[in-house]
Amino acid sequence: MNGYNAGNDDDKTGHGQICCLVDNGSRCARPAANACYNKRIQKIVTQKKLKLYLDNSVRHIYICDYHKGVIQSMRSKRKRRDSDDGSGSPDHENDLPEIDLFQLPVNTLRRYKRHFKIPTQPGLSKSQLADSLMKHFRTIPVVEKEALTYFIYMVKSHKSKLDNKPGDSASYT
């Protein structure tokens, strides 16, 4: 499956073909464009939990411009909660940004582990350590309004959390 029907050279750009995706259980009827449903796009669709699937009965992997735009917008869009009352999406708990701890150096991961006293097996690889720390990271509760208010205060007052003295009773924790 290389993206076009091998029997017709005119189909290289998807002209005359229909989008190869099944959207919410029904086959898309839009004309196919030149974008292909490849593994990278399939990964984005899976990560963002879009209800798009490749129709296995078609002999090409071209998608329409509409689905191309949807996938591109999901790739660059950051999910936000519009309000704190929970009246937004029913699955707003899953709207957390993804943090890739694997991009951090091993020493930083070890310092994080030591700071939070996270029990792990000795001799873990970097990816195993990042996975175990990610489980802990997701459990840390954050009050968004409080954190943003404190951040804005610190920026406006040109202070740093490190400026607070250890014995200072007004320190923020």
Give the CA distances from residue 16 to residues 29, 38, 63, 95, in Å, rounded to whole numbers and listed in that order: 12, 20, 12, 38
pLDDT digits (tens, 9 = 90+) for 18-72: 888 888 888 888 998 888 888 888 888 888 788 888 888 888 888 888 888 888 7
Global confidence as pTM = 0.37
- Predicted confidence at residue 88, as pLDDT, reads 45
- The secondary element (H helix, E strand) that includes residue 23 is strand 21-23
> In Å, how far from its chain's centre is CA 103?
15
Domain map of the chain by residue range?
9-76, 95-163
Within 10 A of 115 (CB to CB), how many other CB atoms are there?
A: 8
- The CATH number for 9-76, chosen from 3.40.1800.30, 3.40.50.10490, 3.30.420.340, 3.40.640.10, is 3.40.1800.30
